[in-house]
Structure 1
Amino acid sequence: MSGMPGERVHRLRHSVEVAAPAGAVFALLADAARRPLYSPHVVHVERLDFDGVRERVRVWESAGGRIRSSLLVRVQHPHERRIEFALVGRGAPVESMSGEWTAEEGPGGRCVVTVRHEFTVAGDRDDVAAGEGLITGYNARAELESLRRIAESRAGVDELVLSFEESLRVYGPGELLYGFLYRAADWPGLLPHMRRLELTESSPGVQILDYDVQLPEADGAVRTEGAVRLCFPHAGRIVFKQTVPSGPVAAHAGEWSVLPDEHGVRVIAHHTVLLDEAAVRAALPASGRSATGTVSPSVLELARRRVRQAIGRTSLAILELAGQHAELSVRTSSVRTLPRREEATAGSLP
Structure 2
Amino acid sequence: MARTATRPTVHRSEHTLTVTAPAEDLYALVADVRRWPAVFEPTVHVCHLAREGRTERFEIWAEVNGEVAHWRSHRVLDPRRLYVSFRQEHSRPPVTSMSGGWLFRRPAGGGTEIVLRHRFTVADDDPAAVARVEEALDRNSARELGALAALTGTGHAVDDLVFSFTDTIPLRGSGGALGAYTFVERAERWADLLPHVARVDLTEPEPGVQWLEMDTVTADGSTHTTRSARICRAPEWIAYKQQRTPRLLSGHSGEWTFAQTSDGPVATARHTVAIDPSGITEVLGPEATTSDARAYLRDALGRNSLATLRHAAEADQRV
Q: Is TM (by shorter chain) over 0.5?
A: yes
CA contact (8 A) 1:21 1:109 kept: no
- Deviations 1:36-69, CA, capped at 9 Å, x for gaps: 1221101111222222222211111111111111
- Deviations 1:256-297, CA, capped at 9 Å, x for gaps: 1122234432211111111112222555766x5xxxxxxxxx
Q: Which residue of 1 aligns with 2:302?
A: 312
CA contact (8 A) 1:206 1:230 kept: yes
Q: Which residue of 2 aligns with 1:146?
A: 147
Q: Is 1:177–2:167 an aligned residue pair?
A: no
d(CA) in 2 for partners of 1:169, 1:192: 21
Equivalences for residues 282-301 of structure 1 within 5 A:
283=283, 288=287, 299-301=289-291
d(CA) in 1 for partners of 2:6, 2:117: 22
Q: In the TM superposition, what is the alpha-carbon distance from 1:123 to its structure 2 partner?
A: 1.5
- Which SS does the other structure have where 2:289 is aligned? helix
Determine which of 312, 317, 322 is the counterpart of 2:312: 322
Which residue identity does 2:292 align to in structure 1? L
User: 5+ residue gaps in structure 1?
Assistant: 289-297, 331-350
Which residue identity does 1:213 align to in structure 2? T
Q: In the TM superposition, what is the alpha-carbon distance from 1:92 to its structure 2 partner?
A: 2.4
**Structure ID, larger Rg:** 1
Q: Which residue of 2 aligns with 1:39?
A: 40
- Deviations 1:289-317, CA, capped at 9 Å, x for gaps: xxxxxxxxx71111111111111111111
CA contact (8 A) 2:96 2:121 kept: yes
User: 5+ residue gaps in structure 2?
Assistant: none
The verdict on how the C-alpha distance between 1:317 and 1:52 changes in structure 2, with shifts beyond 3 A counting, is same
Percent identical residues: 33
d(CA) in 2 for partners of 1:284, 1:17: 33
CA contact (8 A) 1:20 1:109 kept: no
Higher mean C-alpha deviation, range 149-158 or range 166-175: 166-175
Runs of 4+ residues deviating >6 angstroms = none
d(CA) in 1 for partners of 2:65, 2:102: 22
- Which SS does the other structure have where 2:139 is aligned? helix
Q: How many residues align?
A: 313
- Deviations 1:178-212, CA, capped at 9 Å, x for gaps: 11111111111212221211111222211111122
CA contact (8 A) 1:61 1:68 kept: yes
TM-score (norm. length: structure 2): 0.92
What root-mean-square deviation, in Å, do the aligned CA atoms of Structure 1 and Structure 2 show? 2.0
d(CA) in 1 for partners of 2:250, 2:268: 23
d(CA) in 2 for partners of 1:50, 1:97: 21
Q: In the TM superposition, what is the alpha-carbon distance from 1:170 to its structure 2 partner?
A: 2.4
TM-score (norm. length: structure 1): 0.84
Equivalences for residues 70-149 of structure 1 within 5 A:
70-107=71-108, 109-149=110-150
Q: In the TM superposition, what is the alpha-carbon distance from 1:109 to its structure 2 partner?
A: 4.4
The verdict on how the C-alpha distance between 1:323 and 1:71 changes in structure 2, with shifts beyond 3 A counting, is same
- Which SS does the other structure have where 1:11 is aligned? strand
